[in-house]
Chains A and B, each alone.
Chain A
Amino acid sequence: MAEITNYKVAASPHKLDRSNTRRIMLDVLIALAPCLVCGVLFYGLYALMLVAICVAACFASEQVYNLIRKKPFTFDLSAVVTGVILGLNLPPRAPWYIPIVGGVFAIVVVKMIFGGLGKNFANPAATARVFLLLAYSSVMTQYIGADLSNVLAGDVTTGATYLGGGIAALQDSFLNIGGYWGYVLQLLFGYVGGSIGETCKLAVLAGGVYLTARRVIDWRIPVVYLLTAAAMVLVCYGSASEILLQLFSGGLMFGAVFMATDYATSPKWRYNRVLYAIGLGVITVLIRRYGSYPEGTSLAILIMNLFVPIMDKYLLPVRFGQTSKSGKPKPQVMKWAMRCVCIALAAAIAVAVPLVNYTEVQLYTGRFSYVTDAKREFGGGYVFSVEGEAYLDQYDYTQPLAYEIKLNAEGDKVLSVRPITQSTMGYVANLAFFEGKTFDEIAALTDLSTDAETSATYTNTALRKMILECFTAYDANIADYSAISASGEHIVKAERCGDLYRFTLSGVADLAEYNYQQPLAYAITIDAAAGKVKYITTINESTYGYTVDREIFVGKTAEEIAAMTDETIASDITTGATITNAAVRDLIGECFAALEGAAKGGAE
């Protein structure tokens, strides 16, 4: 038998895991690929050029540094990873020198000066982004809208991001889905303005799943980061619907997956990572909500990076069988604390989301007597806050009232009424009158007496008016009208939504006695099918109480209104609202006339 001679000696273990530094960096690059592809699709080849410049700058500056310091060249791909991540962090139309400045800063100042790979205390890409934001504020916040036609075209319109411009920066609908889910979807697909690589959350998620499956990153960091951020959004914005909008906007998810998980600058022990991720979530949302920068991810990562060495030094894993000085097993404080915090965060979100799942609805149109606020609930439906009073003349007592009235998503039915303030003596509204009723049913209610003795009738009557106003507010602000053409002396705008025609009119109430002309503006909605006035929304009228009495007109036909004389519409002679009412009567007449014309026009 031939003697075995060519065997070598090596230290144990003789079997090794297949991973190595370069393979890890390659995995990160693979995970970044979808982000890069989406960035190029949405923002054009110019964006690809920026990333390429950034990679070249990072790689070259690392080698030049090595040359100067007489160190061996490094080919571990880590500079390429930094270059791609920083490149994807840039705005799509940054000038060509921005990636060069950023790349050199990231590699030389942040990484190499501190000893190179694994020795830097802050994430090079995050630090460089913050540096660029401070040094080139205007170009670093110049975003463009995403458009598939951007790929080759150089000229594009500048656009805002959701974080900078709010809902207004987003398109009204996406993939034919409008409203809230439309916003969420376009943020998820990344078809919005933002940095090259961080807008498409699906690409980021794909990268994150790949890295987790390859065990390159610890899933705890992104998951806990997003969880904490969600809880913080709930606390700081007080709105559940904001959670998805915030998580899907800006660099939060990109940062959570690719930057917060950077090896050298994240803690080594899993529960320290949880703590680190909690810190990231808290700081990010605090900066976004209360700071002057719309984006907080990079800064949060930079700040938490600074805590990593001290966490690694003093928060150590409890060793197997470790005992405290008294000889008892050392409790796994950190482990259970982190688990409890995460469970508490998840539970808090689960409990709080149904309670605060709404979006604020801005009431731009209308001057309302009772409605103070409107919110859109998560699953559809609108909640109106109303405040008013019931005057109990026999007691000369004014009872303040406040309710939350929930209408369904179509705005044609009261789902529920929740009392906020009303009598504590038992004169409470009879909600059965209103809940589950449509506008017409409530408008037709005449007998509102619950109990003559308790005079809750006054409360019911006041509540009825409030509810009717909620419908009016819905019609004026939320209902989905489209413009039509209509002519009339006072008609400013005409719109249609199904059988409802809404006319916006302006006119004057001529108070000859006072030598005063009160400008008036109303939005009057007519139900063409019933031929009746449905809503009247006040846009402009007297602020001294000479207001239109909507009750006179609502639910009436053209003939009934035309037949009204000045006497029948006199609400209160002393206040002179009669003149306003008369003006409104004439405006309504004009609406009916215009409606007839519009219907004829439609028929032709």
Chain B
Amino acid sequence: MKTFTKGVHPAGCKDLSEREKIGAGPEPAHVWLALSQHIGAPAVPVVEPGQRVLRGQLVAKKAEGLSANIYSPIAGVVKEVAGHITISGKKKDHIRIENDFTDEEMLLPRLAEPDGAAVLARIEEAGIVGMGGAGFPTAAKLAVGGRADVLVVNGAECEPYITCDHRIMLEYADDLLRGIRFAMLACGAKRAVIGIEKNKRDAIELLSAKCGGDISVRPLRTRYPQGAEKQLVYGCTGRTIPEGKLPVDAGAVVVNVHTALSIFRAVELGEPCYRRVMTVSGKAAKKCGNFWVKNGTPLRDLAGFCGGDENCARIVCGGPMMGDAVFSLKICTAKTSSSLLFLDESECESKVASVCIGCGRCVQACPMGLSPTFIEEALFKKDYAEAKRYGALACIGCGCCSYVCPAKRFLAQSVKLAKKIIGERKI
């Protein structure tokens, strides 16, 4: 079996939530919908404060170029369009909607027997973005003009704790396969490969039994970051995406399992992208599991819904490898929020960086073949050209280098910073 080299193998910790059925999430009194939940330009609000909106109603329209529509997840009254903190720490514009708990809905019309163009239009209309975490507008990704012959479906879910894709594959297998067919139709791919890490044996068995013909299942070695785009395409098709190029340059389009499910729901049920399955997990969470969470739900509501006890040492939005630590529960979920983890002391040591002992473990671990310790050294010397030579630009931010570092250095952050500076200064 082809697989990328290097990488790391952190403890999975998925047993906390992988056996729980997807349940209903909290019903928040207010939602804050960020206008920018995707890569590209923020969406433009189409509602006025004081206006009543229904569940599934368009509240912000995609801007010119790369952008995505935003829909209201609840029925209620638009209160304001104002700045609100996000996980990155920056204040960004959000639409606040107050829930009136009537749950009146206004869905899109269902599409019967759509062709590729119709599916693509619906994906764009429904505001679907990459739900694995990147948030790239899916319509833009699938519009490859026939240059891709294979659709790679990301069911690897290599981050520890997160099980939302796993549960989707188990509980929505048929919907997922239909969604994959719609995605194939939209991008013109002749076949699809679902890449699933071998630690999800039940999902591999179920989907292998159900799929067939042009859709196949590819069991992947359980190794982080198996679900990273380049590593996944390599594992599923054996193709290497050239540096600085997109998967389509290797004839592949990658969509996440959840994205494929959203495509199905948008096309067949007319449900735009306003909610998603989120994993809540961690030893400090009172109720671990997967829940349908409405976009814009404040984390405080989620914490109230699922617990999170006094042992909680760190709250992480996203996976423990790449996710961000939450600094305030006022922050709201977005289309890309795959999980919320309540970690106790034993699950997240706080670290103090010490001097590099030169063990080279970061070099051995980097799945992209970079030399993080030398990039860091170059960064500290402000020798950005040298940092670039060691490959800083190719960093995918997976965090393997920081994970393995025995001196507990902030290598991933250093490389990220070097990459940013090189990009900004065009070195």
Given A4-B312, A17-B404, A329-B240, is A269 in contact with B360 using a C-beta cutoff of 8 Å?
yes
Report A-chain residues with C-beta under 8 Å of the C-beta of B405. 16-17
The answer to the question of B45 belonging to the interface, with a C-beta cut-off of 8 Å to chain A, is: no
Interface locus among B25-33, B71-79, B322-330: B322-330
Asked whether A267 is an interface residue with its Cβ less than 8 Å from the other chain, the reply is yes
Asked whether any CB of chain B lies closer than 8 Å to the CB of A545, the reply is no
A:535-571 near B, CB below 8 Å: none
Q: Assuming A24-B406, A268-B371, A322-B394, what are 7 further A-B pairs, CB within 8 angstroms?
A: A7-B315, A9-B327, A12-B316, A15-B320, A263-B359, A317-B371, A319-B368
Whether A116 sits at the interface, judged by CB under 8 Å, is: yes
Alpha-carbon distance A552/B402, docked complex (angstroms)? 87
Contact at A263–B243, with CB atoms within 8 Å?
Answer: no
**Contacting pair A320 B230 (CB below 8 A):** yes
With A4-B312, A321-B240 as given contacts, are A15 and B347 in contact (CB-CB < 8 Å)?
yes
Select the residue from A4, A21, A327 with max chain B CB neighbours within 10 A. A4
Contact of B325 among A9, A17, A263 (CB under 8 A): A9
Interface residues on A, range: 35 or more
Chain B: residues with Cβ within 8 Å of the partner, total of 73
Tell whether, in the assembled complex, residue A1 and residue B304 are in contact, meaning their CB atoms are under 8 Å apart.
Answer: yes
Taking CB atoms and an 8 Å cut-off, the chain A residues in 286-326 that contact chain B are 312-313, 316-323
Which B residues lie within 8 Å of A313 (CB)? Answer: 374
Q: Is the Cβ of B313 less than 8 Å from the Cβ of A8?
A: yes
Partner of A268, one of B308, B327, B363, B404: B363
Q: How far is the CA of A76 from the CA of B320 in the complex (A)?
A: 28
* Alpha-carbon gap, A269 to B326, bound state (A): 35
CA distance A323 to B242 in the complex (A): 6
Q: Give B364's nearest chain A residue, CB to CB.
A: A270
Collect the chain B residues with CB atoms within 8 Å of residue A69's CB. none
- Say whether B402 contacts A13, CB under 8 Å: yes
B residues lining the A interface (CB < 8 Å): 4, 8, 10-11, 160, 230-231, 234, 240-243, 245, 303-304, 307-310, 312-316, 320-327, 329, 341-343, 347-351, 354-360, 363-364, 366-371, 373-374, 389-391, 394, 399, 402-408, 410, 412-413
Q: Which residues of B contact A13 (CB under 8 A)?
A: 10, 320-322, 399, 402-403, 412
Assess whether A6 is interfacial by the CB under 8 Å rule. yes
* Total A-B contacts with CB atoms under 8 angstroms apart: 182
Please indicate which of the listed interface residues A6, A24, A267, A268 has the most CB atoms of chain B within 10 Å of its own CB: A268
Q: Are B404 and A12 in contact (CB under 8 A)?
A: no
25 example contacts (A-B, Cβ-Cβ < 8 A) are as follows A4-B303, A4-B312, A6-B313, A7-B326, A10-B314, A10-B325, A10-B348, A12-B402, A13-B322, A13-B402, A17-B8, A19-B406, A20-B407, A21-B407, A24-B357, A118-B357, A266-B360, A268-B358, A268-B359, A269-B371, A270-B364, A317-B363, A317-B369, A321-B230, A329-B242
Q: In this complex, which of A15, A323, A327, A329 has the most chain B Cβ atoms within 10 angstroms of its Cβ?
A: A15
Measured between beta carbons, the chain B residues less than 8 angstroms from A318 are 369
Task: List 6 A-B pairs, minimum CB-CB distance, nearest first.
Answer: A268-B360, A13-B399, A319-B369, A264-B358, A317-B369, A14-B320
A7-40: CB near B (< 8 Å → 1, else 0) gives 1111111111101110110000000000000000
Task: List CB contacts (< 8 Å) of A400-440 with chain B.
Answer: none
Contact mask for chain A residues 138-168; partner B; CB cutoff 8 A; 1 contact, 0 none: 0000000000000000000000000000000
A175 contacts the other chain (CB 8 A): no
Q: Are B360 and A267 in contact (CB under 8 A)?
A: yes
B389: chain A residues within 8 A (beta carbon): 316
A269 to B390, CA, bound (A): 12
- Residues of B contacting A267 in the complex (Cβ-Cβ under 8 angstroms): 360
Partner of B323, one of A8, A12, A16: A12
Give the residues in chain A near B348, CB-CB below 8 Å.
10, 14-15
Instruction: Tell me whether A117 is interfacial, beta carbon within 8 Å.
Output: yes
In the assembled complex, the Cα of A270 lies from the Cα of B405 at a distance in Å of 16
